[in-house]
Amino acid sequence: MRLDPFFKARRIAVIGASRERGKVGSVILKQLKNKKAYPVNPHAKRILGLKAYASVKEIPHKIDLAIIATRAQTVPKILQECQEKNITHAIIVSAGFKEIGNELLQKELSEAIRKTNITVLGPNCLGVFDAHNRLDTLFLPEDRLKRPKPGGISFLSQSGALGSAVLDLAAYKGYGFAKFISYGNAENVTASDILEFLAKDKDTKVICAYIEGIKDGKAFLKSAKKCKKPIIALKGGITKAGSSAAQSHTGALAGKKEIYYGAFKQAGIIIAHNLEEVFIFASIFSTIKTKPRGKRVQIITNGGGYGIVTADAIENRGLALAKPGSAIKSLKKEMPEGVVAKNPFDLLGDATNERYDKAIKAAMKDKNNDAIVVVILPQTPRIDLSIKKTIIRASRKKEKPIVAVITGSEYSMSLRRALEKEKIPCFEYPEKAILALSAYLRS
C-alpha cells in the first residue's frame, strides 16, 4: 500500500473547509498554509483568502490528497467525487461511524472505499504530521498543541486525542519526531500498513504505537517481525472497562491482554505499560546507536545512596551488576582515600569533574561491563557543568551504551538538557534509567 502521498502531497483539497474560526475545516486549512491547499465548501466564495470551490471536481488542478471534514453521512458520496477527480488518497477526519454503533454507515463507507479504490486513512482520525517537511493535517491549532522538532521518533496512534497529547508533551520535552499518524477506525489503512511504511522511512529510527485493536493480527505480527527498527507498543483496552471504552471509541475489539502481550513478545515488540514508559523507552532507543552485547551494568556515582538504589533497580529488572576488572580496580591508587573502586564506583561527595573523567574512561576500557550508568548529583560543590564534555566524549565513541541519571532543579536540569541535546539519554530517577536500559539491552 502506497502511503507516501499522505506525507508528500503537493496539492491538497480540504473538503469541509470553513470560514468559521475554530471549526475543524478552518484549522486544517490554516495548518496547510505553506502548502497548496484548495478549500471546498459550496456555501463560500473565499476562505482564509483562498478561492473556495463548490465541489472537489471543480478544482482546476491535479489533487494529490483530499482531507474530508464533513458530516459522516456525506462521506461515501464525497469519495465518489474524489474518484471522478482521480484523487488516489484521502484522510477522513469525520466521525460518526462504527465507533458510535453506526454499522450501516460504516458498511456504506467500506463499500465506497472498495469501489473507488482510494487509499483512506481513518475515518475518525486526526490525520498526519511530518516534522521534516512540515506537512500538517491536524485540526488542533499550534497555540494549543505544540509541534515537535524534526527527529527520529514516529508515532502511530489509533486515538487522536491520546496521540495529540503525546505529541504536545514530546515537543515540550524536546523530543525529535519524524512522523505522527492518527489512523482512527482503520477502515482501509491499518496499523500493519503503517508499520511497513515506517520500516522503510529514512527519517524514522524508532516506532511508537498506541493500539486499541488490530484487524489482522497475523499481518501485523508479520510486519513487526520484518521491521528492523525498534517498535514500542502501548496496548489500550487491557481491562474489561478499557475494552468496552475502546469499542465505543474507535469501534475496536480490544481482545485479551495476555494474547496481545504474548504476540508482541514473539514479534520482538517492546511493551510499554503506560504512556510514561513510551517516552522512557523512546528516549533511549532514539538516541543510543551502540549494539547491545550483554546485560552487565557498571554504576559510577558521587552519592552512595544513589548507587545502592541504582544497584537495586538493576537486579529488580533482571540485569547484572558488572564485576569490575583491572581497568577499574587499578584506579584505586589514583583516587583519594575512601573512594570505592568497585560497583557501584563511588567517587564520594567531593567528587570532581576530573575524577568522573578517569572513572568513565576506565569503565569504557573495562571488558567486564556492557553498559554504564553515570549518576551525577550536581548539588555537590566540586561538580560543574563542564562535566558534560566527559560524558559526551565517551558517548561519541559508541563502544558502550551510556545513560545518565541527574536529579535536581534548575542547575541539574541545565546539565540534563545539555546532554540530551547531544543525544545522551538522561533521567531524573535511577529506576527510570534502568527501566529504559533494561528494554534496550534486551532488544
**Does the structure show a pLDDT above 60 at 4?**
yes
Burial letters for 129-156: b for 16+ Cβ neighbours within 10 Å, e otherwise? bbbbeebbbbbbeeeebebbeebbbbbb
Superfamily in which the 1-124 domain is placed by CATH: NAD(P)-binding Rossmann-like Domain (3.40.50.720)
- Exposure string of 345-358, with b = 16+ CB inside 10 Å and e = fewer, is bbbbeebbbebbbe
Cα 155 off chain centre by: 4
Residue-level pLDDT at 239: 59
Please give the model's pTM, rounded to 2 decimal places.
Answer: 0.89
Evaluate if residue 91 carries a pLDDT over 80. Answer: yes
Q: Mean pLDDT, to the nearest integer, of 365-378?
A: 96
Mean pLDDT for the chain overall: 93
One CATH from 3.40.50.261, 2.40.50.250, 3.30.429.10, 3.30.470.20 for 125-286: 3.40.50.261
HSE at residue 332, side-chain half, CA atoms within 13 A, is: 10
Chain segment 286-317, per-residue pLDDT in tens: 999 888 889 999 999 999 999 999 999 999 99
Neighbours of 274 (CB within 10 A): 9
pLDDT in tens, 57-78: 999 999 999 999 999 999 999 9
How high is the pLDDT of residue 241?
Answer: 57
Q: How many angstroms separate the CA atoms of 307 and 84, rounded? A: 67
The mean pLDDT of 96-115, rounded to a whole number, is 95
| Domain ranges, ordered by start, for the chain | 1-124, 125-286, 296-442
Q: What's the rounded mean pLDDT across residues 416-439? A: 95
296-442: CATH, from 3.40.50.261, 3.10.129.10, 1.10.443.10, 3.90.1170.50: 3.40.50.261
Interval 274-285 mean pLDDT: 93
Q: What angle do CA 410, 413, 418 make, to 5 degrees?
A: 130
Q: How confident is the model at residue 253 (pLDDT cuts 50, 70, 90)?
A: very low
With contact defined as beta carbons under 8 Å apart, do 269 and 233 qualify? yes
Radius of gyration of the chain (CA): 25
**pLDDT on residue 240:** 59
Of 53, 108, 51, residue with least CA distance to 79? 108
Matching fold, domains 1-124 and 296-442: yes
Contacts of 405 by beta carbon, 8 Å cutoff, 6+ apart: 306, 310, 373, 374, 375, 376, 426, 427, 428, 429, 430, 433
According to DSSP, the residues that pair with 366 across neighbouring strands are none
- Minimal CA–CA distance to 267: which of 297, 224, 233? 224
How far apart are alpha carbons 253 and 211 in whole angstroms?
11
pLDDT of 10-22, one tens digit each? Answer: 999 999 999 998 8
**Dihedrals φ, ψ of 60, to 5°?**
-85, 30
Cell of 211: 493500539
pLDDT classification of 33: cutoffs 50, 70, 90? confident
How far apart CA 124 and CA 128 sit, in angstroms, is 13
pLDDT at 249: 46
